[in-house]
Chain A
Amino acid sequence: MGKNAILKSTSNYILLAITMVCFLFPIYWIIVTSLQSNNDLFQFPPKFFDLNITLDSYMAVFKDIDFLRFYRNTVVVAAGATALSLFVSIFAGYAFSRFKFKGSNLLLTSFLSTQMFPVITLLIGLYSIYSSFGLLNTYLALILANTTTALPFSIMLMKLFFDGISKELEEAAEIDGASRWKILFKIIIPLTKPGILAISIYAFLVSWDDFIFGLTLTSDLGMRTLSSGLSMKYFGEFSYNWSGASAAAVVATLPLVLVFMFFQKYMVAGLTAGGVKG
């Protein structure tokens, strides 16, 4: 290996190490903050190593009924939004892929355009609609709102997957007497498993992380989801409970990390496969 190659390789590793530190440091900081008392945290400049470790904040989080309620609500909303996104995007994606009609491309673009508006600009309109339908403070409101966020990308991804499946396959099944539904469920959908998993993970992540809908469309403490509930519980007017908030954040993030760890290969495969075939 030449001198230049070694130099290039070393600088690459250094660059990667710096990037990794940039990404991992916030996670490290949240974890160590959650493991210290607020009393130890309040020093300026902050201390990064040689810490007094305590699990008090975790104990407090698990004893907090409100936190458990936020957790339950988030699970229901994330699962519901994932299901709905999956259901709609499979059919919509299939329809956009197989049925070409006048204005179909425009319709697909208009779906995508909803993601181009900052959510904050739509908030008053959305709030008015949900209010007039009596949906405020319901799981349905949060599920619908998060589904609308996840849908544009999900539909596009599913369309790309369906585009990649040969139409001859469907024609052959049709000749053998299979109906359109049977073809879809028994032939097409199984071939798009990576896409379905990718969409599931994506929709779940979007819903789990939601803050703005959870904050705006619910006002009952019992209906708050994790992000909006934690903001209310730990960040007060006069002081912040950094240790408690960090412990709650770690506990709240764990399911996401686990979901991603187990399914990341499907997510990556789903995204890249869809991209290539499209």
Chain B
Amino acid sequence: MKKYIISKTVVAVCLFLLLVVISACGSGNGNTVDKNAGTSSTENKDDSKQVEITFANWIAVEDATKTVFEDLVATFEAANPNIKVKSIGIPFAQFKDQVLVNSAGGSAPDIMMSNQAFAPAFVGAGIVQPLDELLGNEIIDDIVEASRTGATYNGKVMSMPWAPHPNALFWNKTLFAKAGLDPEKSPTTWAEVEEIATKIAALGNTEDGKPVYGIGIDNGSDSNSGSKFWIPYLSYGGNYLTDGKLTFDQGTALEESLGFVQRMAAGKISPVGADTKILRGLFSTGSLGMFIDGDFGRNVFRTSSGKGEAFDKEWGVTTVPVNKTGSSETVFTEHQLLISEQTKNPEAAAAFVKFLVSKEAMIMYHKSNGVMSARKSLAQLPEMNEDDYAKVFNKQMSTATAFPNSNPKFDEAMKNVASMLQLVTVGNETPANAIKYVMPKIKELYE
């Protein structure tokens, strides 16, 4: 009898759970669901018909950009009532892989957001189409030269530069004052940077016991850390490629810049093993004297500090100090927009891209997040230069160097550069040895 009851219970549980399955099959999420997520749901054969375009991005789900993204889409849809934009939010860390899987699976999004590191993979996989004709000369010829270079593959513009992020120097005025320095005077040379950073690090701890560092030099272990190393490297006169050939280790720039990173780490002037995300947190909590970061820094610091706009008074921003080249050397990262090769609605997709890089949209985006435009005509607008913060980044953009991302091996090369940084900071190897161990691997990538 007992066994009979048990078997009945097992069967009942099985049936109940099966009911869950069946109801799940029929219900979806209760919202309107596009069962064919990536592809356009309606072909744009008739202009009067409603067209849905899909936009793969990561800004629609991040707190800092979610609201402005919704506003941008609403503004576009109001002006283009026959086009509906469906956002496909993908986490940033998995973005590249997911877009490639969707595209290879035949359900590519119509438009995809990208950065300069993802774009070569999308172009290399042949999942995007040239934009020269779709966007027209008025927009293509208006792209800032450095951005255009990074977006051009075999003579064709494959990605539309949307928001460039040149890196400039942030400094903490409170720590400057505590170290006996003029809080309103930023360093103008790398020698001054080193001197000031040493003085700030000598403060020891903050009032609440957190260690104080003079400067944050990214020496993490991923390719982003390798890319960030370009800033000191360029300032020492480095030249990564010459006429397409690898010249990374030629001259003294590589050894000298690695030496600088090593001095900062060994003297505990810069935290060892910290990547940019950690450094942003340290700057936000008043533990870092100086830090080189992009124009999105202000928003990140406001959020991470927990002080909002009030935190703006505690820091200043200026162009990266000069070193051996005599020029303010820096790099820029960039958000870009690409149109899928598989899209059934190229005109509608192009209309949305044109809108996102238009004056109206860029001013909206700039007001909410301080981003800049990659279009020459817009970068100079008073609305895009309304305060010193915007002016510094617009000025910095004029000397910023684009990464040679069109080479698909670049990302791997930067991982190796990060290994070099680890060797001189964590491994205490001399710069010469670090170069000796790692350079062959980088050269191999470019052979």
- A interface residue numbers (CB < 8 A to B): 37-39, 41-45, 69, 73, 76-77, 79-80, 82-84, 86-87, 90, 123-124, 127-128, 131-132, 134-140, 143, 185-187, 189-191, 193, 196, 215-216, 218-223, 228, 231-233, 235-240
Task: Identify the interface centre among A44, A187, A216, A240: most chain B CB within 10 Å of its CB.
Answer: A44
Given contacts A44-B271, A231-B94, 8 further A-B pairs with CB under 8 A are A43-B282, A137-B29, A190-B3, A190-B10, A222-B29, A228-B91, A233-B61, A236-B58
Supposing A139-B27, A185-B7 touch, asked if A237 and B37 sit within 8 A by C-beta, the answer is no
Bound Cα distance from A235 to B25, whole angstroms: 31
Question: B88 contacts which chain A residues (CB < 8 A)?
Answer: 219
Bound Cα distance from A255 to B31, whole angstroms: 26
Q: Which one, B14-22, B154-162, B359-367, is touching chain A? A: B14-22
Top 6 A-B residue pairs of the complex, sorted by shortest distance between their CB atoms: A83-B17, A42-B281, A127-B105, A139-B24, A219-B37, A80-B21
Bound Cα distance from A219 to B106, whole angstroms: 15
B91's partner among A38, A134, A186, A235 (CB-CB below 8 A) is A235
Question: A80 contacts which chain B residues (CB < 8 A)?
Answer: 17, 20-21, 24
A76 touching B89, Cβ below 8 Å: no
A143 touching B24, Cβ below 8 Å: yes
A38's partner among B28, B98, B101, B306 (CB-CB below 8 A) is B306
A37 touching B62, Cβ below 8 Å: no
Supposing A127-B107, A140-B24, A233-B61 touch, asked if A189 and B17 sit within 8 A by C-beta, the answer is no
Check if B266 is an interface residue, CB within 8 A of chain A. no
Bound Cα distance from A77 to B27, whole angstroms: 12
B11 touching A216, Cβ below 8 Å: no
- Summarize A's interface: helix, strand, loop or mixed: helix
Quick one: closest B residue to A129, CB to CB? B105
A190 touching B277, Cβ below 8 Å: no
A138's partner among B4, B35, B107, B274 (CB-CB below 8 A) is B35
Supposing A43-B211, A82-B17, A185-B7 touch, asked if A73 and B29 sit within 8 A by C-beta, the answer is yes
B89 touching A219, Cβ below 8 Å: yes
Quick one: closest B residue to A231, CB to CB? B91
A221 touching B38, Cβ below 8 Å: no
B285's partner among A42, A69, A77 (CB-CB below 8 A) is A42
Question: A223 contacts which chain B residues (CB < 8 A)?
Answer: 28-29, 33
Mark out the residues of chain B between 37 and 57 whose CB falls within 8 Å of any chain A CB in the assembled complex: 37-38, 56
Question: B93 contacts which chain A residues (CB < 8 A)?
Answer: 231, 235
A39 touching B211, Cβ below 8 Å: no
B28 touching A138, Cβ below 8 Å: yes
Question: A82 contacts which chain B residues (CB < 8 A)?
Answer: 17
Q: List 20 A-B contacts (CB under 8 A).
A: A39-B285, A39-B306, A41-B281, A42-B278, A42-B285, A43-B287, A83-B20, A84-B21, A127-B102, A131-B105, A131-B107, A136-B36, A139-B24, A190-B7, A219-B89, A222-B31, A223-B28, A223-B33, A236-B63, A238-B64
Quick one: closest A residue to B59, CB to CB? A237
| CB of A29 to closest CB in B, whole Å | 16
Quick one: closest A residue to B3, CB to CB? A190
Bound Cα distance from A237 to B211, whole angstroms: 26
Question: A84 contacts which chain B residues (CB < 8 A)?
Answer: 17-18, 21
Supposing A219-B37, A219-B88 touch, asked if A44 and B24 sit within 8 A by C-beta, the answer is no
A239 touching B106, Cβ below 8 Å: no
Quick one: closest B residue to A196, CB to CB? B10
Quick one: closest A residue to B21, CB to CB? A80
B21 touching A219, Cβ below 8 Å: no
Query: Which bracket fits the contact residues of B?
Result: 35 or more
Question: B211 contacts which chain A residues (CB < 8 A)?
Answer: 43-45
Bound Cα distance from A220 to B38, whole angstroms: 10
B105 touching A232, Cβ below 8 Å: no
Supposing A44-B278, A83-B20 touch, asked if A235 and B33 sit within 8 A by C-beta, the answer is no
Bound Cα distance from A41 to B277, whole angstroms: 12
Bound Cα distance from A172 to B278, whole angstroms: 70
Bound Cα distance from A139 to B35, whole angstroms: 11
Bound Cα distance from A191 to B210, whole angstroms: 61
Bound Cα distance from A135 to B105, whole angstroms: 13
Question: B94 contacts which chain A residues (CB < 8 A)?
Answer: 215, 231
A221 touching B300, Cβ below 8 Å: no
Question: A44 contacts which chain B residues (CB < 8 A)?
Answer: 211, 213, 271, 274, 278, 282, 287
| CB of B335 to closest CB in A, whole Å | 9
Bound Cα distance from A45 to B271, whole angstroms: 8
Supposing A39-B304, A44-B274, A127-B101 touch, asked if A86 and B17 sit within 8 A by C-beta, the answer is yes
B37 touching A136, Cβ below 8 Å: yes
Question: B129 contacts which chain A residues (CB < 8 A)?
Answer: none
Check if B96 is an interface residue, CB within 8 A of chain A. no
A187 touching B33, Cβ below 8 Å: no
Check if B223 is an interface residue, CB within 8 A of chain A. no
Quick one: closest B residue to A142, CB to CB? B24
| CB of B301 to closest CB in A, whole Å | 9
Quick one: closest B residue to A72, CB to CB? B29
Bound Cα distance from A135 to B18, whole angstroms: 18
B14 touching A83, Cβ below 8 Å: yes
Bound Cα distance from A134 to B36, whole angstroms: 6
A137 touching B34, Cβ below 8 Å: yes
Question: A196 contacts which chain B residues (CB < 8 A)?
Answer: 10
A138 touching B25, Cβ below 8 Å: yes
Task: Identify the interface centre among A39, A124, A235, A239: most chain B CB within 10 Å of its CB.
Answer: A239
A237 touching B58, Cβ below 8 Å: yes
B300 touching A239, Cβ below 8 Å: yes
Bound Cα distance from A131 to B103, whole angstroms: 11
Question: B296 contacts which chain A residues (CB < 8 A)?
Answer: 238
Task: Identify the interface centre among B6, B10, B38, B278: most chain A CB within 10 Å of its CB.
Answer: B10
Bound Cα distance from A220 to B61, whole angstroms: 11
| CB of B23 to closest CB in A, whole Å | 9
